[in-house]
């Protein structure tokens, strides 16, 4: 009896430990010599992430745009390391099955040196294994070749050249766990069970 009560108490405590916040929107600020902008990542109803915002300062053309592994800017964009790749894949196009999670392809700057971003990605996430929070978004000096050329770097980086600007992806909006009330009552159950166990032990 004593042992089974303890087991129940432990199981209840364990179940309530799974509660976590859900990030619904993130933002990165890019600032470099002559290049600046904001990038937002918003969770859509279907779970995909919509990338929005505006970056200015690049000559008209396509430029590689990725989520890199770390949010460490201690050595500029270099210390963000490589493309965020938790599944050990090759570099690819955003629509490829075999791609890095961080492979967001290219963004296009127009004749006013402006890139207005508005597209969705199905692989990056704001929670869980593919979570990009705390990592960095990096804008490159050349177009990403999507891993489709013979260049030795094609399957690693898309041969997108140097790193022009980068920013750490931070939390903007989030929701508290739905089970907030439930975990409070779980805690009371644990206290009640512990008390009952104590009383039961005294009576034996
Ligand atoms: Cu990159
Ligand atoms: Zn990549």
pLDDT at 14 over 50: no
Answer yes or no: do 11 and 31 share one domain: no
Answer yes or no: do 120 and 199 share one domain: no
Answer yes or no: do 141 and 164 share one domain: yes
- Number of independent structural domains in the chain: 2
Q: Tell me, in angstroms, the distance from the centre of ligand 2 to residue 184's CA.
A: 43
Residue 16 pLDDT: 45
- Residue tagged active-site, from 99, 130, 135, 163: 163
pLDDT digits (tens, 9 = 90+) for 49-67: 999 999 999 999 999 999 9
Answer yes or no: do 98 and 33 share one domain: yes
pTM: 0.80
- Residue tagged active-site, from 66, 99, 130, 135: 66
Q: What is the DSSP track for 45-93? A: TTS-EEEEEEEE-S-SEEEEEEEES----EEEEGGG-SB--TT------
Q: Are 85 and 102 in contact (CB under 8 A)?
A: yes
Catalytic residue check, 91: yes
Range of the domain at 190: 2-18+178-203
Q: How confident is the model at residue 15 (pLDDT cuts 50, 70, 90)?
A: very low
Catalytic residue check, 66: yes
Answer yes or no: do 151 and 194 share one domain: no
Catalytic residue check, 140: yes
Answer yes or no: do 13 and 32 share one domain: no
CATH number at residue 73: 2.60.40.200
- The DSSP code for 23 is E
């Amino acid at each position: 009896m004593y042992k089974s009560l303890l087991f129940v108490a432990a199981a209840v405590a364990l179940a309530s430990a799974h509660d976590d916040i859900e990030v619904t929107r993130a933002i990165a600020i890019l600032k470099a010599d002559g290049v600046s902008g904001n990038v937002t990542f918003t969770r859509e109803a279907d779970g995909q992430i919509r990338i929005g915002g505006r970056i200015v300062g690049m000559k008209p053309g396509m430029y590689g745009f990725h989520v890199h592994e770390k949010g460490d800017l201690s050595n500029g964009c270099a210390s963000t390391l490589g493309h965020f790749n938790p599944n050990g894949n090759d570099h690819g196009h955003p629509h490829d099955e075999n791609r890095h999670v961080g492979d967001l392809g290219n963004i296009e700057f127009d004749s006013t040196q402006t890139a207005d971003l508005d597209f969705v990605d199905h692989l990056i996430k704001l929670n869980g294994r593919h979570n990009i929070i705390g990592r960095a978004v990096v804008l490159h000096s050349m177009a990403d070749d999507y891993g489709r050329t013979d260049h030795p770097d094609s399957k690693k980086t898309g041969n997108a050249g140097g790193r022009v600007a980068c920013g750490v992806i931070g939390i903007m909006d989030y929701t508290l766990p739905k089970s907030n009330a439930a975990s409070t009552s779980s805690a009371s159950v644990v206290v009640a069970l512990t008390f009952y166990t104590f009383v039961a032990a005294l009576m034996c």
